């Protein structure tokens, strides 16, 4: 493909990403992969160049641009002037620009969110935002349930891997690949010896401190990454109840549990949205540990999913804040006296973490339980090299 044709393909794919963001469709990496798969004439070099251009544009605009063309024109008139010559009207390239057509506004964050981010991230907000939009490495968790060891796994990977450093606690089973490569079909993954999992997510499970023989509830289990890590920390002994409101995600978890050797200790439980308490009444006051990895803005994961900025709106954030409080109250009901709840969100917004804990501390009781706030931590890519997270430990009387 000629450079103008690559640019036109990037414009068309970016239009698809924008449409999916408005409609709640698949994530950008999925949309890009599907679009490139349909372009069978594109070689590997072409696909890589198109993908890189699409994600460069996604990272450049905090607010959704009017169109893929408007975004690329803004890049051509700003940080990527070499693109201007590709708007040449060639057979497979984009038409020349019209001075009257719209251009996108570059920026790291949606305009409506800039104040909240500045307040949450403090004096280093600009540097923190830059790190939040840089490309992420690929982090792995080596699975001790299969007897896997980090040094043995590292020797079998296609690129160099190193231990993860820079976090407040050591992660003895974590490896980092600074050059991300596809690993879904790698024998180590297929055999359950290794899982792709960001170091921040691994840190949250480490702070949770699950031990063999405990009863643990993973209240928002999603795809099961933290469930698998909990099972490893429990040495495959005890009981984990992995809950979610999405039947598809729970079903997709089973093969991962089988590969990892965690299936015997994990019970998957489907919850009805808004009626979760009914499905968990048998666990009221019975869990040693409850992990509430609550749905959130995902602002801490912008390195991996920068288009999430385009999906977040003030009404959606308000709904998420209400849901987080409801799940926090539900989780506290499940903890036995003397047990613990770990609250986590992959967000850097104060409203989604510290504000909830301040409310909990001010009330002293929540969901009918006396609660003491323990350790609270915020992780950011700039300071810790992982996704952004807020993590708080709550002790229940």
> Which residues are catalytic, by number?
346
| Token code pair at residue 26 | 């698949």
| Token code pair at residue 3 | 């450079």
CA distance 395 to 376: 12
First to last CA, the chain: 65
CA distance 173 to 32: 32
319 — alpha (psi -120 to 50), left (phi > 0) or beta? alpha
CA distance 81 to 63: 21
- Torsion sign, CA atoms 114, 384, 291, 273: positive
CA distance 228 to 234: 10
Measured from the Cβ of residue 371, the count of other Cβ atoms closer than 10 Å reads: 21
- The CA distances from residue 278 to 281, 379, 383, in Å, are 5, 34, 41
CA angle centred on 317, ends 335 and 206, rounded to 5°? 40
Comparing C-alpha atoms, which of 182, 273, 183, 261 is closest to residue 220? 273
CA angle centred on 8, ends 7 and 11, rounded to 5°? 90
CA distance 253 to 242: 10
* DSSP run (H or E) holding 205: helix 199-208
Q: Angle, nearest 10°, between helix axes 199-208 and 225-233?
A: 40
CA distance 334 to 220: 14
């Amino acid at each position: 493909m000629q450079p103008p044709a690559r640019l036109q393909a990037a414009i068309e794919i970016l239009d698809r990403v924008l449409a999916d963001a408005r409609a709640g469709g698949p994530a950008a990496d999925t949309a890009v992969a599907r679009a490139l798969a349909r372009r069978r004439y594109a070689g590997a070099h072409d696909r890589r160049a198109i993908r890189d251009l699409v994600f460069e544009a996604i990272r450049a605009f905090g607010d959704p641009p009017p169109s893929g063309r408007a975004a690329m024109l803004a890049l051509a008139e700003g940080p990527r002037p070499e693109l201007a010559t590709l708007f040449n009207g060639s057979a497979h390239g984009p038409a020349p620009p019209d001075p009257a057509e719209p251009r996108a506004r570059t920026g790291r964050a949606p305009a409506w969110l800039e104040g909240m981010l500045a307040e949450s991230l403090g004096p280093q907000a600009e540097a923190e935002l830059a790190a939040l939009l840089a490309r992420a490495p690929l982090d792995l968790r080596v699975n001790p349930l299969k007897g896997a060891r980090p040094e043995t796994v590292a020797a079998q990977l296609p690129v160099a891997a190193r231990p993860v450093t820079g976090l407040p606690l050591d992660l003895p089973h974590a490896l980092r690949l600074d050059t991300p490569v596809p690993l879904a079909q790698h024998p180590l993954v297929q055999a359950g010896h290794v899982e792709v999992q960001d170091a921040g997510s691994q840190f949250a499970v480490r702070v949770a401190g699950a031990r063999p023989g405990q009863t643990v509830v993973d209240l928002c289990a999603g795809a099961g990454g933290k469930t698998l890590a909990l099972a490893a920390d429990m040495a495959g002994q005890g009981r984990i109840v992995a809950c979610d409101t999405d039947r598809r995600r729970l079903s997709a978890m089973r093969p991962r549990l089988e590969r990892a050797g965690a299936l015997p200790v994990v019970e998957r439980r489907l919850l009805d949205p808004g009626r979760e308490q009914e499905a968990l009444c048998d666990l009221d006051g019975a869990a040693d540990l409850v992990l509430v990895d609550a749905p959130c803005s995902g602002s801490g994961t912008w390195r991996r999913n920068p288009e999430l900025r385009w999906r977040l709106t003030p009404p959606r954030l308000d709904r998420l804040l209400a849901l987080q409080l409801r799940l926090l109250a539900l989780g506290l009901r499940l903890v036995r006296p003397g047990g613990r709840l770990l609250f986590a969100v992959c967000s850097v917004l104060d409203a989604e973490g510290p504000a909830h804990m301040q409310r909990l501390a001010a009330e002293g009781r929540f969901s009918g339980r006396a609660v003491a706030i323990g350790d609270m931590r915020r992780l950011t890519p700039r300071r810790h090299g992982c996704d952004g997270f807020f993590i708080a430990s709550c002790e229940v009387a």
